[in-house]
Each structure stands twice: as C-alpha cells, then as structure tokens.
Amino acid sequence: MHKTQPTVHELLPQLFRLEYAKMTAVLCRHFGLKHIEMAEDLVSETFLKAAENWGLNGIPENPSAWLYTVAKNKTKDQLKRAQLFETKIKAAVQNQDFEPESSFDFSNQNITDSQLAMIFAVCNPENPVEAQICLALQVLCGFSVEEIADAFLSKTETIKKRLLRARAKLRKDRFQMSALTAENISARLDAVLSTLYLLFNEGYFSKSNNQLIRKELCAEAIRLTLLLTESPLTNSSKANALLALMCFQSSRLEARANEAGESVLFEQQDKNLWSKELIEKGNYYLVNACSVEQVSKYHLEAGIAYWHTSPANEQRWGHILQLYNQLILIEYSPATALNRTFAYAKVYGYEQGIRETEQLGLENFKDYHALLGYLYTAIDVEKALSHYQKAIALTRSKTEKKTLAKEVERLKKEFKIH
C-alpha cells in the first residue's frame, strides 16, 4: 500500500515550522540582529515563492534543500542591489554587523551555531520574562502572533505590543551572534534556561482556553534545550538537568489527558501510554547532570519527575517529599508549596495533608482548592464539593472547568447528593 504524498498546502506549514527559525537565525548571524526584519522578509519571500512554484510544478524531490537554495540566492540578489547596499547594507558593513559573503552558508554546522547564538540573543535579560518567551516562540519556534496570544490567553494586540518592545531591545542589543563567547554564555545562561523552562511549562500546563496540553510547545522547548547540551560551549550540568526534566515530563504526555481533552490524575493514568524511550533519555541526561557536584532547581525537579516515572517503588513519595523540601528552600512558589503538600499527604496521610495545605493560606489559587477537594473526598465529601466549586470559579480554562465539574458530578452521584 503506497503512502499518500502530502499536498503543497499540507507540506508547507510543516516545513515553515521546521525551517523558518533555522533560516532566520542563519541570516541574522550574517547580517546582524539590527536587520532581523530584513532576514525574516527574505525567508517569508522564500516560502511564498515555494507556494507559487510548487503549486505549478509540483513538490521538489528535496523540499528543504530547495528552500535553502532559494533563500541563499535571494540573499545574494539582495546584496547585489545597489539601492539596498546604499540604504541598509553599507552601514552594516561599516559597523561590521555581518560577515563577508564568502562565509555565508546553510551548512548543518552553521545552522546549529546560528540557532544556538539566536537563543542567547533572544534571551536578553533586559526584557521581561514574558517578553522573552513570546520572542522565543516567534523567532526561535516560528509561532504566529495569534498562536502566541492563544498560548497566553491574551489579545493579539497585547502580544503585538509586547513583541514590538522586545524586538526593539533585540535590535539595540550589542550581542554578537558571529561568535558565541564564554562571556556571552556566562552572562545569559540562567536567563536562557529559565526561558526554555517556562516555555516547556507553558505547553505542559497550558493556560489556553481549549487545551490542557500544547505538545508543540513542549517539543520546541526540548529541541532548543537539546541544542544546548550538544554544544561544548553550553553543555552544562543545569542544561542536562533541565533536559532530563523535560524528557521525564514528556514521557507521560499521552496519558495526561483523555480523548475528550480532560485531565487524567497521575494515579489514574494508563502506564502503558508512558514513553519508555523518553524515560530512558531522561535517565541518560540526569546521569550527565549529576557528573558535577551541583544542585539546582532543575536537578531537584528532574529528580521528582524521575520518581514519578517509577510507580512500582513504594518508597517513591518519601523521596519526592525530601526533594520538594529542598526545592522549596531554593525557590518558593505557590505551585511548589502545593505539590509538596500533596507528597506530604501521600507520606503522612490525607488528614495531615489537609492541615499542611490549609496552613499555606492560598485561598485565591485554583490549585489550592482543587487539592483540598481531592484530599477531603474520603474524609468530608461536602467540604470536598465546596472546594471543587471554588476551584471551578477561580480557573479561566474551559478544559479545567470541565474536568473539575465532572469530578463534582461523580461525587454527587456516588454519595447521592442533590
């Protein structure tokens, strides 16, 4: 049985997501970040030509190679135009903003080096964290403004303004993409790791109205973090720990939601859906991360995620609680505190867990009431229902509302409450 070949309309969006960011990174490395819009225009024109050409002549044998060839030729044509040279490129040459044409290429090594440099350029500490993530999604991952707005539950105009401000700082930044130095890395590595961590979490715990999980965000975060571990310049203990965390968490993506898109609690997940390959990769990167005596929040969270992939170990909750005890001292957050009390309840019992949770005083957080609803279920169903209703009122996610409402209906039916 022959596999059906994709149409132009099916293939181009896939290639756009895969190749747009790579091509833009190479061109930005060549011209300099001041000319990022020109680089993006060249890449966009390349895809427009592909849509026109392939629609008439059919898809070429090697579509990606076709795109890179056209992009390279378009760039050379631009450089030869006298008007463009006088208005834009001449100043860039004088300021040494880009490398000589002889060094311009789309080799695998140059693509990798350019993407790596672009990651550090985008993660400008002068930009707010939210702006860094938005910029990473657009420049590094090829997401549209609409897709970014959907991921952040924001209006497109809000995202546009955020990106405009972030891009202005990116163009003014003196970061040199031509050579990623130890100084560049040292100054920005924590910001880079933080941005990739938050990008992954945006997919794993999506705030979108209609999606619990955005797998494409998780995949992009993993792809970019993998670039860090594959370069001798950035292959740090923290980067390996972060990649291990992402692999462990991603191993359970298929089991975290049912066909209706509703959340499936950890204890109810079908373990057969867990990816053994990703768990093994997580183990590999966690071992690499522990090659030096360093403990970061990524190490601790990767350790917690590791124990979650070992359900057969009866002592796992004790290990998880110990790791949360360390994590909360390094970096406190309401989410970490609530996750810790869940582990605490698993070790010391639900009544103790309720007391520990209520001491947190996080009444304005949806997860606080969802956790208490869960813990009270076997102790006081009326209180459980009350907390679930509060959690429903506090969440903006339609998917979460649906999941919580389903649990409320289950409890009412089971305990015959009207």
What integer pLDDT is reported at residue 92 of this predicted model?
55
What integer pLDDT is reported at residue 104 of this predicted model?
60
What integer pLDDT is reported at residue 98 of this predicted model?
47
What integer pLDDT is reported at residue 298 of this predicted model?
97
Q: What is the pLDDT of residues 41-62, one digit of tens each?
A: 999 999 999 999 999 999 999 9
Segment among 50-59, 195-204, 321-330, 376-385 with least mean pLDDT: 195-204
What integer pLDDT is reported at residue 94 of this predicted model?
53
Domain boundaries, the chain: 1-102, 107-220, 236-258+270-312
Per-residue pLDDT at 307 exceeds 90? yes
Q: What is the pLDDT of residues 338-385, one digit of tens each?
A: 999 999 999 999 999 999 999 999 999 999 999 999 999 999 999 999
What integer pLDDT is reported at residue 211 of this predicted model?
63
Buried b (16+ CB within 10 A) or exposed e, 359-385: eeebeebbbbbbbbbbbbbeeebeebb
What integer pLDDT is reported at residue 308 of this predicted model?
95
Per-residue pLDDT at 18 exceeds 60? yes
Whole-number Å distance between alpha carbons of 392 and 398: 9
Q: What is the DSSP string of 59-75?
A: --SSHHHHHHHHHHHHH
More confident residue, 322 or 416: 322
What integer pLDDT is reported at residue 406 of this predicted model?
92
Buried b (16+ CB within 10 A) or exposed e, 225-255: bbbbbebeebebbbbbbbbbbbbbbbbbbeb
CA distances in angstroms from 63 to 11, 47, 170, 323, listed in the order given? 9, 11, 31, 48
Residue 82's pLDDT band (boundaries 50, 70, 90)? very low
CA distances in angstroms from 146 to 104, 127, 327, 351, 364, listed in the order given? 33, 21, 35, 45, 29
| DSSP code of residue 274 | S
Segment among 17-21, 165-169, 204-208 with least mean pLDDT: 204-208
Q: What is the pLDDT of residues 399-414, one digit of tens each?
A: 888 889 999 999 999 9
